[in-house]
Chain A
Amino acid sequence: MKEISFRDDILPLKDKLFRVALRITFDRAEAEDIVQETLIKVWNKREEWNSLESIEAYCITLTKNLAIDLREKMDARTEELTEQHDRTQDDANPYEELEQKERLMWVHRLMDELPDKQRKIMQMRDIEEKSYKEIAQALDITEEQVKINLFRARQKVKQGLLRLDAYERPTN
């Protein structure tokens, strides 16, 4: 059996784990802390590495659990802060920060609700900045299909944004 090396096999997973944590917390600093905590926990369990079926799956599960725990804690704090915010207007900054996170989460949920192909195409185009040709090749479809799916995806996201706006407006 091949010996697992922390530096060669586990550390290179860091960006993947960071993306997992980022999609849950929507906060770079928190996501970074979570990846660090994950990797230290994995290091401390080095006696068990060889008995694990997949070290990568193990790391991803650990990161997810840590991120969800943190988000639950943050959600509890948000409620507290929202209550405080009603009483004191002085400290508006943490409130705004939390609101920003909420907004990113909302858009993420909109993207998540898209059909699989549409979501993948919109991600590749608008986040990874890939050309139509590259996307077509990667998904083994025609460029025309890429364009149609991208059009539908963006239209759906736009409708979602307008729904959010209509929901927020009366409270503003």
Chain B
Amino acid sequence: MSRDHVLHKVRTALGRSAGQALEPVPEAGIEIPEVFIEARIDQFCEAFEALNGKTYRAASLAEARATVESILAGRTAIASNAPLLTEIGITTLPKVQSGLADRLDLREACSTAGAGITSADYVLADTGTLVMFSSTEEARMISLLPPAHIAVVRRERFLTGLDELLTREPIPSNRSSSMVLITGPSRTADIEQILVRGVHGPGEIHAVVL
């Protein structure tokens, strides 16, 4: 059996035996800075915009709805099943489809929609990152297929950075089969190291902070 064969070779190479104790594991070196929520939001906006993303602040649900409507500017969109989006009333905006539960229907809709609207589970302030777990509320394709991605996030979700995320979610796989960190619009520099945005994922991203 290949498994036994490979494990045996590994053990022989290292001079270890099956079931031998593990040497002490080095520190992970997690460090979480102290940053007030307002500062986190400012930092996020700066980082996000440096990546060519656009940020907006909304003081109320109504304002959030209006902001998303103006970002859409008449485009068709797919909204995820995040309760926040329903709460804000985004799902009732014109040309916005939501509530899709079938994988193929969703994919079909996403490939023709002008934008995908989602919430986000967390936001990382220092790198300008949106963190999304795949779930009944959030499908993978909505933030991936359409050429534009609009994320509406509550301020409470803002973390200082990766270290804090991994402290909150030390075993991300306990929660979902997929956790994705989105840091800016899709891009490539594969030809002559010249930057082009919107290669496969969305070339346009927006974050509305509630």
Whether A and B are associated in the same complex: the answer reads: no
